[in-house]
Structure 1
Amino acid sequence: MLSFFKAFTLLIFLVTVEARTRRSIDLIAAHSLVADSRLPREISPNSYNLEIAPQLNEGTFNGRIRINVTWQEPTDKITLHAYENLDIFKIIVTQFVPDDETEKASPKSLLPTQIRVLKTQRDPKTPLYVIHLEKVANRGTQCEIDLTYKGRMFNDTSEGLFRSSYVDPQTKTQKWFAATHLRPNLARKVFPCFDEPEYKVPFVINVARHKNMTALSNMPVEATKPMEEKPDWVWDRFQQTPPMSTFSVGIVISEFDYDSSNFDTEYQKPGTTLHSKVRVWARPDFISALKNVTTKVFRAIKILEEFWGCPYPLPKLDLLALPNYQATRPADNWGLLLFKESELSGRGSWHISQELAYQWLGALATPFWWSDAHINNALARYVTAYTTVKMETNESFNNWPMTMLYSIYYEFSKRYPHGKSTAIKQDSTSAKTELVFRMLNYTLGERTFKQGLQNFMKDRQYKTFFADDIWKSLTVQAKKDQVLKDDITVNSIAGSWITKDRLPVINVTRDYDKKTVTISQRVYLRERPHDVPDQEKFVWWIPIILIREDKMDFTNSTPTVWMRKQREITLTDLPSDDKFIIINPEEIGPFPVNYDIQNWNMLAQYLCTENRVKIPVNTRAKLLHDAWNLAYAGDLSFATALNMTLFLKHEREYLAWDPVFTLIDHIGRHIDSSDVHKKFQTYVRLLLTPLYEELGDEPQDGECEGKSHLRSSSKVFLCQAGYKPCIEEAQTAFKKWMESENPDEGNPVSNQYICPVFKWGTNEEWEFGLQRVINFPVNRKQSERTYLLKTLAGCPNEAAKIEKLLNITILEQNGNFTDNDVYLIFSMLTGSANGYTTLFNFLKKNWDTIKVRFEGKLHLWNSLITSATTVFKTQEGLDMVSELYVQRQSEFGTADFVIEKALKNIKEETKWSNDNLPVIEQWLDEYLEVNNATK
């Protein structure tokens, strides 16, 4: 079966740079930017004066940059960043020399002297541009570097200075606009510069435009003057910016419009007389879709100003919805934010909150180098989440941090976290660090945490910072407020989490006679085998926050004690043996907790009573999630874990249900090769049917996204489990497609109906889908064909359908299917026991023919062996694969290592099945009998 869960969720100074030598925790050593071409430290910039004149129709721009610099060391070279697309054709270097050549000369006595440029040099392997001078300039020398150049704008990417267009619906003419996206190190594509975050200096920006267009930049326009050589053009000069990094520069030239009501609305900053003007821009026919954006912005700014304890730092803020914007995330230029139209017009406020967070953390205070950018990103994510939650919108983000936390539990509990993906590692590490900030907010207390960060921002505004600056500010405030002992530092706590690609699990064992509890920590490993090297060396600083049934207080998040990288500790004076305890409520720390069986049973019984609401919904979700995942990992009996689901019969809070669907998917796919699976599907139907029927088929006016999500998820998993009303609804919708006159012209069926039809429907319906793939027109979106092919392969219950698809694509070599299609089919068949078992039998039956077919296609051969042999989970599967290995031992070729690894993994999975399937089956038998359900 296709993984319905997967289908459903397809879900970062005029100042002299300070000499700073302290090294913070390096999170992203593998990040490509860490190895970015560093500039020599001999010269540093003091200010920039930038002139940009884009030619939108031609896709080119003229530029001039004047950089005021100071020599930090004697040198006769100036090294800048400049991309090869910049044609620099004029260079003037002017030195300012004191009249009397003494250090006491006043600035007014400085006289300019031009220094001759001997030659320039480009490094073909790096974006460095070197200017060789006729003489050495000494330390303290000030010069102006004046460079005139040309460049190209591209409209196939949204990087650097790019252009794009849209069609005016009234005049039917093409309208061009230009904009910049310079983060993280793309300013060098637009102007020669010292393109490193540590160089924060003021900018004066000048933009040439046609008089019918509007130019926007980081600051308000200071003056506009006609361009002498072009009477229809003007120059806009913008006010000087505060000190900022090159990636914060922002420019937009367009014929966009803004809602005048937005401009007239002024936001009064607390304690000041400064007004920030907020304008929201878009193409004229789209501006009506952005009516509520300004309200969101004002609310978010108010929350962020209160959080940081300082006002929004610029006199204005422009937000733009760009058509055809191709960047993966908005451009957070300082005072000029660029979004996709869908991002700015959407119901939620996450994107707006995130980009506003970067106005303080990233623009006002900036990471010194990319090794600290990850801390910046993690803290910005935390602040974004904090802001979004405080805004109390009706969006599903209210389930933060659970959804994010569950995903990093899965990632860090793998035998090999991240695989070979640097991107996954960066994202999961940043998510984990975000949760560390959340943990510190709880354990230090929100007032201490916020005050520490406000002190940090006050100290580092308009400057750069290391991660250590954040930890130090939090430590100082925590000591001042007496919430940390003198021998504890936040750096020590955070470092124990951030430097490890693992998470801990806490084991809680009570001695009910002595009223004590022993708490131990170890590495959390979910995947088997649990033979990770050196796991005994992993220890963390862990806050132990304990809730007891006889004194339930979920408002106090002060740790009872910190585990100071201790393997085990013992606490005394616990409640009596008929009262439960909860460790780590509200998922304050990113770690699961395992209890002794008696405590688990008391929790399960309490949750089935009306008093369960005394336990906050996030903690109810945590208890359920921890139990199932610990059982999956082999650390808890499945009978105990399944008991923890019994309270769901009465539970209607969607946050408590949120982990259920992931767990159903994980367990269901693991046991679907056994007879237990049918009983499990019956259990799923009994669990979800009352919930789905109570929610109703259609959303209600004004309901939150969480409730809509709960309805959709329930329906998806009920369909997966064979819920008849769902199947009948899907077949009714599919029938309209089958009866259409030209079914190849388009698909009128929603994707949610296709898999249930191919899984539970007739052979005729599946054959219809197959013909649609074969006859798919080239002028339609190929992504629709891909989805159809995925469901054709991944959804059917019947082996005959899958075998027919394999016959057509591999044995008959039907020309309508490419090698990529075949690769996709193999991949989809690993999602169910029926799929990979059919594939295995097909391989065994047609070995010689397939071997010849794939003789020159080793990637397909390796993929076939992988998909057909590595996913078995029972003794029967182990026997099948072992027999094939013995029969064909010398014929696997490049896939020999695959089969050997598969046998090792299947042995582990078989052990899991032998240990857990009898327990699961016994529990299900008792549950179904109590509920008078047919197996």
Structure 2
Amino acid sequence: MPPSRLTDILRTSLMLAVLLTPLSVTARNRRSIDLIAAHTLISDTKLPTEVTPNAYELKLHPYPEQGNFTGEVNINVTVQQKTKKIVLHKHPDLEVESLSVFQILAVVEDPKSDSPGSPKVGYNVFAFQSKWEQVKKQSMMNVMLNDHANSGVELRINIKFRGYLFNETTEGLFRSSYVDPETKTTKWFVATFMRPNLARNVFPCFDEPGYKVPIQLTVVRPRHMTAVANMPLESSTDPNQYWVYDTFQWTPPIATFSFALVVSEFSYLVPNDTDDGDIKLRIWARPDFIQTLVNVSGKVTRSVRFLEDFWGVPYPLPELNIFALPNYQATRPADSWGILLFKESEISGKGSWHLTQELVYQWLGSLATPFWWSDAHINNALVRYITAYTTLKVGDNETFNNWPMTMLYSIYYEFSKRYPHGKSTAIKQDSTSAKTELVFRMLNYTIGESTFRHGMQRFMADRQYKTFFGDDIWLSLTEQARFDKTLPEPITINEIAGSWITKDRLPVVTVTRDYDKGTATMKQRVYLRERPHDVPDQEKFLWWIPVVLVREDKMNFRNSTPLVWMMKEREIKLEDLPSADKFVIVNPEEISPFPVNYDTRNWNMLASFLCTDQRTKIPVNTRAKLLHDAWNLAYAGDLSFATALNMTLFLRDEREYLAWDPVFTLIDHIGKHIDSSAVHKKFQTYVRLLLTPLYEELGSEPQDGECEGRAHLRSSSKIFLCQTGYKPCIEEAQRAFKKWMESGDPDEGNPVANQYICPVFKWGSKEEWEFGLQRIINFPAGRKPSERTYLLKTLAGCPNDSWKIERLLNITVLEQNGNFTDNDVYLIFSMLTGGANGYTTLFNFLRSNWDVVKSRFEEKPMLWNSIVTSATTVFKTQEGLDMVNELYVERQTEFGNADFVIEKALKNIKEETKWSNENLPVIEKWLDGYLSSNSERIGA
């Protein structure tokens, strides 16, 4: 065995040494940037620190068919402070059968061995009298001793327990089944899912990430099944014809959420290309599925090799077992140490992202573990970044070629809202984690890839088999950057990262050049896309911003070293810029997560350059960034739409789907904003002219072996062309829809692909739309409800004709057709906000039928608020403002609990009207010029 790996003997000695050494858990005063209050969904009370664990000896006996299990655990603990009470985590559903506590007086060694690392064979103990109670409304138990246990004393807690195997969810110790295709019999398997704090559902323990101690597991399994755990099998005994007792080697110090077990009848594959047998890698699945996973080991091996090199630490365990589980219900894989659990669809696909992410957790999360959930946020973000970094380097997953642009766009939208995240803690957690991931990417660029990697290695060498705070990561990167001289004094990574992570905002940087002097003023402020821009205290927001600059006369996109840092400065001055006829680009490749605005002259030079055959000298990510920044800054009111629209002219020759990727979102955003104005038809013509050559070149059908990006580009261009009334698209959709209309039993199922339904309901005939309405009314109870929901969404949200919407409202609201529930009506109202025809028709319907609608919904405040909100809040022009204001005056005392809705609507519409008055004339003037110069193409 290579010297980089511990032999089993040394590993066992280490584990026993840890087991028998009192563990002092003194509070560490350093805190990472505090994210616990705002950025985590985990709410957990910390255990008292008077007693801390040293090791677990755990025995589990699952009964897969019966759906329950029994167990026994011996927990070795050290008393840190004199106490009469021990607090453990234990789920209320876990039944304790017996509990006893002993004080360890001495350890008896094996007399036949003189090795200091030899196993121990027994203990001299003193028994405490004890009792226990479940803590009300918490997953905790209090163990009360009759006498005080003094500081420094070692105790051994023995607990026998029983519990149920979760059957419907993948929590704790769960079971699931599948049908053997040959024998037609049901096969059961048992597995664990312990993250984030579900070990307490399986056995009483100290279920916090900060307590990392060894575990030795014994599993009692049926003879015909196989047990796999974190560590290799140490011994097996078979006391009877039914059960086998498998005892596994001691784990290294391990958090309870990293504990893992699978008991199954699965088959496994062993790859042929592992490095000298260092890691025993096995891929497990049900026997009839196993052959679909023959390529998985190659992906795993490539990723493991890369990660071992990245961390400078070999894969830390002797085994790696990867399971494809049938009927696996978890929303994400279980990243337990040494055992990775996946849905069959996740692991059998082309990509390697899911596999790589779980492999990254083997180092970051299992080998080095966050001390508390606040640091788990940073851990998660770093895992995501290293996963993306590895996936791109290994080159297995083409779909990841759009990273990080898609993620960047979404967080730009989220953090530029007046009220980011709304009330959704989950959205807040995810968007903040995504932003932190981008901060790691920024650091990798700005301090250099080599410094970043060696900083990570420094961190891992220091914290392996231990816990860490977020500060430990920032400190390691700072120390490495100091050593490599890639970060100017006195800047620290903690200062840089903190300025980004602790704000639910992002900056926008404006570069205004003085062409005569060859200088530029650079200013930073809060990026606000939603209006009005009246966020409190926005002048106090400042960031550490790396200024990476590319100039036209010296285009070098590989040098990401900052020219200078904006050290939380509102404004700085740049010197020695290129001549007045050369553009500059700040923040190329989206090195940092912020948009950049320029003076009009620099924007125009960029637009002109992109329209030349030199365009590809600017990398595609930067081309996409320039387009995305221009449109969003115009949308926010910070840039003329004429300038932003000029930035789209290069697309006539652009065929890289990454450059097109932001276009479709922008067409959607602007299109919805102006669709109530006369400009909208001109905008639709512009979109058709933009997309038609692209779509015709791509062809309507996929080609053999084409890349995923090309398929994505075809699909997106087709969708948006259909929305503008592109005749070939509409005709194709109607041909497909006709097959459904002519089928013998149209309610039996929907033979039409979803992509065809909306174009037909929008541009098709009355007969086609009425056919869709009848399918909803007659929808069979045995079909999937999601199919009906999709059909209802398109029936309400797609039509371009007001009469279709009026007909639907008459049936559901006035006639109260029994085939439509209150939830259906609520969904219809929501869908009508997607377009001007929808919400204008709804407004007119409400105004004309006020008394009837009010009487129908006055006892249903959810529906009353919904119709008022959907009918009044989406207008964006003066005409709409006048309509809503007239209704408010007419019915001022009749809105009831929706009164606040109409008042807020009027305020928002005034803001939108202001935007429309400022921007629609500019957009229309540009479109008139563009359409005039392309008049021949319009006629064609």
TM-score above 0.5: yes
Q: CA deviation at 1:486?
A: 2.0
2:42·2:373 contact (CA, 8 Å) conserved in 1? yes
How far apart in 1 are the matches of 2:404 and 2:450?
20
1:783 matched to 2:795? The reply is: no
Note the 1:751-770 alignment, pairs <5 A: 751-770=754-773
Tell me, in whole angstroms, the C-alpha distance in 2 between the residues paired with 1:161 and 1:130: 23
| 8 Å CA contact 2:106, 2:125 repeated in 1 | no
Q: 1:219 aligns with which of 199, 220, 231?
A: 231
Other structure's SS at 2:241 match: strand
Q: Which amino acid aligns with 1:789?
A: L
Partner of 2:842: 839
Amino acid at match of 1:353: T
The equivalent position to 1:71 in structure 2, one of 55, 79, 88, is 79
Aligned to 2:802: 799
Query: Which amino acid letter does the alignment assign opposite residue 125 of structure 2?
Result: T
Deviation at 1:265, TM superposition (A): 4.3
Q: Partners of 2:911 and 2:505 in 1: how far apart?
A: 21
1:147 deviation in Å? Answer: 0.6
| Cα distance change, pair 111–717 in 1 and its aligned pair in 2 (3 A) | closer
* Separation in 1, partners of 2:284, 2:726: 48
Q: How does 1:50-129 map to 2 (within 5 A)?
A: 50-97=58-105, 112-129=124-141
Aligned length: 909
Which SS does the other structure have where 1:550 is aligned?
coil
Name the counterpart of 2:720.
Answer: 717
Q: Cα–Cα, structure 1 residues 54 and 431, in superposed 2: closer, same or farther, change >3 Å?
A: same
What does 1:565-576 align with in structure 2 at a 5 Å threshold? 565-576=568-579
Identity %: 71
- Report the equivalent of 1:486: 489
**For residue 231 of structure 2, what is the amino acid of its counterpart?**
M
Please tell me the residue identity of whatever aligns with 1:320: F
Shift of 1:846: 0.1
Question: How far apart in 2 are the matches of 1:108 and 1:334?
Answer: 26
Deviation per CA, 1:272-306: give whole Å up to 9, x if none.
xx610111111111112212111110111111111
The one-character-per-residue Cα deviations of 1:664-711 (angstroms, maximum 9, x if unpaired) are 000011011111111111111111111111111222222221111111
Shift of 1:18: 5.1
**Unaligned runs of at least 5 residues, structure 2:** 1-17, 109-115
Quote the residue 1:271 is aligned against: none
After TM superposition, give the deviation of residue 35 of structure 1 in Å. 3.9
Q: CA deviation at 1:934?
A: 4.1
1:157 alignment partner, one of 169, 173, 177:
169
1:579 corresponds to which of 550, 575, 582: 582
Q: Does 1:144 align with 2:156?
A: yes
Aligned partner of 1:197 in structure 2 is 209
Q: Structure 1 residue 130 and structure 2 residue 142: aligned?
A: yes
2:375 matches 1:363: no
Farther-moved stretch of structure 1 (340-349 vs 827-836): 340-349
Shift of 1:113: 2.6
| Contact residue 16 and residue 46 of structure 1 kept, 8 A | no
Q: 1:56 to 1:547 in 2, by over 3 A?
A: same
Matches within 5 A, 1:409-808: 409-808=412-811
- Alpha carbon RMSD of aligned pairs, Å? 1.5
2:249 matched residue in structure 1: 239
Residue 926 (str. 1) matches residue 936 (str. 2): no
Partner of 2:267: 257
TM value normalised by structure 2: 0.95
Report what 1:103 is aligned to: none
1:93 CA displacement:
1.4
Deviation (angstroms), 1:34: 5.6
Q: Secondary structure at the match of 1:749?
A: coil
Please state how far the C-alpha of 1:110 moved relative to its aligned partner: 9.2
Deviations 1:35-90 (A, max 9, x none): 41211101111111111100111100000111111111111111100001111111
- 8 Å Cα contact 1:885-1:899 kept in structure 2: yes
1:234 Cα deviation after fit? 0.1
Q: Distance in 2 between matches of 1:115 and 1:513?
A: 88
State how far apart, in whole Å, the 2-side matches of 1:452 and 1:155 are.
44
1:180 match: 192
2-side partners of 1:902 and 1:620: how far apart?
37
What one-letter code is carried by the residue in structure 2 that aligns with 1:167? V
- Conserved in 2, the CA contact under 8 Å of 1:37 and 1:126? no
Match of 2:834, SS state, is: coil
Q: 2 CA distance for matches of 1:478 and 1:836?
A: 56
Cα distance, 1:323 vs. partner? 1.0
Q: CA deviation at 1:186?
A: 0.3
Instruction: Give how far 1:16 is off.
Output: 4.2
In the TM superposition, residue 32 of structure 1 has moved relative to its aligned partner by 6.0
Verify: 1:384 aligned to 2:396, yes or no.
no
Q: Which runs of 4+ in 1 moved over 3 A?
A: 13-19, 30-35, 106-111
Please report how far the alpha carbon of residue 28 of structure 1 lies from its aligned counterpart in structure 2 after TM superposition: 3.3
1 CA distance for matches of 2:281 and 2:131?
Answer: 47
Q: Output one character per residue of 1:810-859: Cα deviation in whole Å (capped at 9) or x when no partner.
A: 00000000000000000000000000000000000000000010121010
The superposition leaves residues 104-163 of structure 1 with CA deviations (integer Å, 9 ceiling, x where unpaired) of xx9989952332333211112211111111211111111111111100012111111011
How far apart are 1:436 and its partner, in Å?
Answer: 0.3
1:318 matched residue in structure 2 = 321
Are residues 110 and 140 of structure 1, via their aligned partners in 2, closer, same or farther at CA, if it must alter by over 3 Å? farther
| TM-score, normalised relative to structure 1 | 0.96
8 Å contact kept, 1:166–1:323: yes
Q: Structure 2: which amino acid aligns with 1:69? A: V
Structure 1 residue 222: Cα displacement: 1.3
1:5 maps to none
Counterpart residue identity of residue 22, structure 1: R
Larger RCO of the pair (alpha carbons < 8 Å, separation 6+):
1
Distance in 2 separating the partners of 1:21 and 1:399:
41
Residue in 1 that maps onto 2:34? 26
**How many Å separate the matches in 2 of 1:19 and 1:827?**
51
CA contact (8 A) 1:37 1:128 kept: no
